[in-house]
Amino acid sequence: MFASRRISAGLKDFLWAAFFLTLALFAAISSSVARRNGLLLAAVILSLIALSLAAVVTLTAVPKLMRRARTDLWSGFRFFRVTRRGLFFVLLVFLIGLSTFNTGNNLLILVLSFLLAALLVSGMASNLVLSGLRVRLTIPEAIHAGQKTALVVHLRNLKRGIPSFGLKLRGRKSAEIDQAGTTFFAQEASFPYLPPKGSGKTRLECEFLFRGVYPVEGFEVRTQFPFGFVVRGREVMAEGQITVYPALIDLNNLLLRFPFLQGPELQNRRGSGSGLYNIRDYQRGDDARFVHWKSSAKLSRLMIKEFVEERDDFMQLVLSTCLKDPTPDAMQSFEKALSVITSLSVLYRKRGQSFSFYSGEFSVQVDSRRETFDALMGYLAVVQPSSESLLDPKMIREGSVLFCAGESGMVRGVPSINYLDL
């Protein structure tokens, strides 16, 4: 609301200044015509009127416009670049101004005035187009390293009665964090037109090469409206972050090498599980709920379903972050271990299988709730190797699988995977 009132007041001041300057220009031209016709008194009066109108604009409107321009510079209007078209226009203005100074031709003075007014209008129109904008970024539920993903950028025009044209938007890089692992900050979204109090959205196809947290501190909005002489821009502040989980990998070969990673097993024998084991003839005392009606109708006798036995074993993934020699190869192995754990977690979740995770500094019981799974993924996105082991042997129970660097980190009686050899 405050921004809208401020824009309306600035537009009102500009229109009043333009009106008085137009009157001053008309009086100056009339004074020149009167002087040529020998009406010296009229020429003097019209000249005084023109100077008075120009003085009124200089003493009233110009200070307000200067204060507002200075405020705009401190409110995010930081990007300014002259285009080729703008360079040609400035050169044209310079040549016409030089010709006007040498010849004193009134027509050239009028043309020069219109060209300078076009520059003034261009700057003010760009500021109006860039003001009153708000950005919102919609992030997918899960982003994994190495996968292309689509982010949706929403841009809203908060101005009342003033549309925005020709906007280009791009994420602002953080100086403190290396953003070389993503194409997000190189993607540019275009919004050709935003109506007053309207909004638009577009998709950004980008890729994150490495896991981690990518902070979004704001966006750069630029425009060449209205004449394309300059690229004018500003920063739109935003707070948030993009969390990228470790990469997903194919687990087929790993599950063949380490069958214990399958978790709770379905035993191929009769029991009370949910999987079908066999269909047999009805026997006296069988529960009618287990009648297989389709087979019974086909064979003209009662048939009974038998189910496989399901073992509900405890499953825990344990990660030792101890990496005493963090060479590039060891760090690559550590990243692969995180990818394996992430892929296993996704697999268990798809199966509806509960499990727990423990690393010494973080533990969580992952069940059907989304927040427990997100907590694990958030930890795997930011975890870094440690110089010493953080594991408590009392926390490693039967049914755990330990991922460690080297045989020295293995625990007796616990299935272990040396991720340096993966």
pLDDT digits (tens, 9 = 90+) for 88-146: 888 888 888 788 777 767 777 788 788 888 888 888 888 888 888 999 888 888 999 99
Residue-wise pLDDT for 266-289, tens only, equals: 444 444 555 566 688 878 777 777
Q: What's the CATH class of domain 77-244?
A: mainly beta
Q: Mean pLDDT over all residues of the chain? A: 81
Residues facing 164 on adjacent strands: 194
Rounded to whole angstroms, how far apart are CA atoms 294 and 196? Answer: 65
Range with the poorest average pLDDT among 32-36, 68-72, 163-167, 296-300: 68-72
- The per-residue pLDDT for 274 is 53
Q: What is the pTM of this model?
A: 0.67
- The per-residue pLDDT for 180 is 64
Rounded to whole angstroms, how far apart are CA atoms 101 and 152? Answer: 54
Residue-wise pLDDT for 40-91, tens only, equals: 788 788 878 877 777 776 667 666 666 655 454 444 455 678 888 888 888 8
Residue 2 clears pLDDT 50, i.e. is over it: no
User: In the chain, where are the structural domains located?
Assistant: 1-75, 77-244, 267-310, 316-421
- The per-residue pLDDT for 285 is 74
Rounded to whole angstroms, how far apart are CA atoms 366 and 313? Answer: 15
Q: Which of 180, 186, 240 is nearest to 210 (CA)?
A: 180
Q: In 177-335, where do the E strands start and end?
A: 189-194, 199-207, 212-223, 230-244, 266-281, 303-310, 316-319
Q: Which of 317, 319, 339, 315 is nearest to 405 (CA)?
A: 319
Would you place residue 413 in the very low, low, confident or very high pLDDT band (cuts 50, 70, 90)? confident
- The per-residue pLDDT for 124 is 82
Residue 379 clears pLDDT 90, i.e. is over it: yes
Rounded to whole angstroms, how far apart are CA atoms 346 and 121? Answer: 57
